């Protein structure tokens, strides 16, 4: 079994389904409300575990009811929580997710996620070094992200950076990543190139390849993804599905990519697998509730007749 370390955020998601988004000063009634465990770090750790890999999570929750509930849920997934710390004076992170016809608008109060430090990463350094791959995102302080990627680099671990939420990222951090997985908005923010189509994605990927060590995957939503390294370029076509909730699609993609790369799959194979996992994820409501198990991915691939290799055979 491959081992994946995840350094990142842990949230409780409050999901509200609406016909449209409110304007300034307006109050709207939602048609449905749900609570689900989320946060990019926790989502990716859960996705990793459900895809058959060993998963360890480095992060923080608050000493509150949400934090306790999240711990129980993550433990039930079999995730190693040795390095999931507790902030005593800050609440667990919360995300308010507004869904309109399956597309999400998200507001995050980072809470305890802001308390994740480079010292937290240092305490987990031995666990990171034992891993086959390390996944990071940008919902915790950049100092912690940089420390994690540096620890992974030092140990010779595959490092994958999901540059979400969209923000400018120092070149020193980009240079520590083997692979980076921006969506079109994140790629636009990182490069200054407005990414709307495949040609734009290609130009953005070429620019990002100046910094990252091995490869860039630009996610284009239902259109698919563009995977590029120094020697090749692969257009991964989207998989047609009925979209219910896109909240965890990017997290599922990144986790699946990390698992596939840890199994020794090449960039194109890994990106195709990640693309299918992301597509299956959007067919369900909620972040972690939507993340598929490897058996479900296998069944989906077989039912659709997709030419996709699954990690581990």
Residues 6+ apart with CB under 8 A from 65: none
Place of tokens 């995977």: 227
Find how far residue 8's CA is from the centre of its chain.
9
Active site includes 13?
Answer: no
CA 179, CA 212: separation in Å to the nearest integer? 6
Which one is catalytic: 64, 222, 251, 299?
A: 251
What value does the CA radius of gyration of the chain take, rounded to a whole number of Å?
18
User: Token pair for residue 7?
Assistant: 């350094």
310/133 Cα distance (integer angstroms): 17
Please give the Cα distance from 216 to 208 (Å, whole number).
Answer: 7
Helix (H) or strand (E) holding 254: helix 249-262
Q: Which residues are catalytic?
A: 251
């Amino acid at each position: 079994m491959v081992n994946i370390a995840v350094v990142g955020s842990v949230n409780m998601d409050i999901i509200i389904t609406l016909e449209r988004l409110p304007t300034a000063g307006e109050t709207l009634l939602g048609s449905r409300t749900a609570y689900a465990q989320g946060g990019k770090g926790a989502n990716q750790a859960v996705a990793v575990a459900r895809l058959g890999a060993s998963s360890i999570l480095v992060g923080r929750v608050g000493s509150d009811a949400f934090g306790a509930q999240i711990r129980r849920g993550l433990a039930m997934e079999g995730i190693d929580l040795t390095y999931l710390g507790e902030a005593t004076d800050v609440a667990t992170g919360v995300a308010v997710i507004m869904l309109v016809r399956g597309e999400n608008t998200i507001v995050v109060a980072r809470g305890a996620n802001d308390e994740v430090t480079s010292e937290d990463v240092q305490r987990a350094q031995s666990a990171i070094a034992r891993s086959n791959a390390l996944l990071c995102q940008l919902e915790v302080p950049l100092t912690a992200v940089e420390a994690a990627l540096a620890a992974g680099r030092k140990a010779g671990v595959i490092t994958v950076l999901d540059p979400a939420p969209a923000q400018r990222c120092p070149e020193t951090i980009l240079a520590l990543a083997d692979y980076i997985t921006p969506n079109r908005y994140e790629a636009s923010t990182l490069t200054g190139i407005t990414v709307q189509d495949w040609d734009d994605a290609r130009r953005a990927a070429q620019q990002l390849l100046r910094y990252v060590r091995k490869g860039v995957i630009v996610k284009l939503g239902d259109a698919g993804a563009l995977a590029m390294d120094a020697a090749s370029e692969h257009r991964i076509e989207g998989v047609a599905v009925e979209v219910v909730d896109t909240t965890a699609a990017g997290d599922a993609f990144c986790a699946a990519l990390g698992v596939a790369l840890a199994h020794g799959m090449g960039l194109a194979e890994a990106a195709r697998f990640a693309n299918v996992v992301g597509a299956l994820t959007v067919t369900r409501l909620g972040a972690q509730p939507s993340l598929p198990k490897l058996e479900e991915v296998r069944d989906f691939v077989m039912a659709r007749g997709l030419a996709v290799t699954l990690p581990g055979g």
